[in-house]
Amino acid sequence: MSQFFQIHPENPQARLIQQAAEIIRSGGVVIYPTDCAYALGCHLGDKKAVDRIKRIRQLDDKHNFTLVCDDLSSIGTYAKVDNQTFRLLKAHTPGAYTFILPATTEVPRRLLHPKRRTIGIRVPNNPIVTALLSQLGEPIMSTSLIMPGEELPMTDPYEMRDLLQHHVDLIIDGGYCGMEATSVINMVDEVPVVVREGAADTAHFK
């Protein structure tokens, strides 16, 4: 049975944020709000938690997972970026973008696309996520909460509890945060490629 935290979307309660961070550190799978939709997350180094998320979403090994970061200061630890790419990322973060980048050896192999060796990087504009990442001191391994057979993410935390309370360890109710997934931009090659049109404007990448 999962825990259910109601966290204020603009002024997150420090006590609940601290408890949520401890659940992630101890191998828990959490549902949490972002700036465009709810997501599933866990500790990036926890294989069992990642496998649980794969089962919930029915994902195969070709799925490109995303590391959700509080800012770009640690991006060089997880992704290979040149100065031009970094400037482009900085101009569009925080925001509802996922950037696909070449991964460094710091990223566990199980999170990478098996052939492309890439990882998604995301810096959301959401006070709950920002507080949670600050408390953790490292990124959250993440994927959108889109259930098998559905095209859009789940939006109602109470429906999430009814459906997934026996499959996750924590559901954070941060209110309504949208139902559109991120815009996905592939930054691996010199010219950016829009992989998915989503919540954020992609005109600058075309």
| Residues sharing a CB contact under 8 Å with residue 154, sequence separation 6 or more, in sequence order | 38, 145, 146, 147, 160, 163
Angle between helices 14-25 and 127-136 (to 10 degrees): 60
Residue 186 CA: distances (Å) to CA of 70, 94, 124, 133, 194:
20, 17, 17, 24, 6
- d(CA 121, CA 173) in angstroms, rounded, equals 24
Q: Under DSSP, is residue 89 helix (H, G, I), strand (E, B) or coil?
A: helix
Per residue in 81-109, pLDDT (tens digit) is 999 999 999 999 999 999 999 999 988 88
Q: Nearest-CA neighbor of 119 among 92, 139, 91?
A: 139
Tens of pLDDT, residues 106-158: 888 878 777 788 999 999 999 999 999 999 999 999 999 999 999 889 999 99
* pTM confidence score: 0.93
> What is the rounded CA–CA span in Å between residue 120 and residue 187?
10
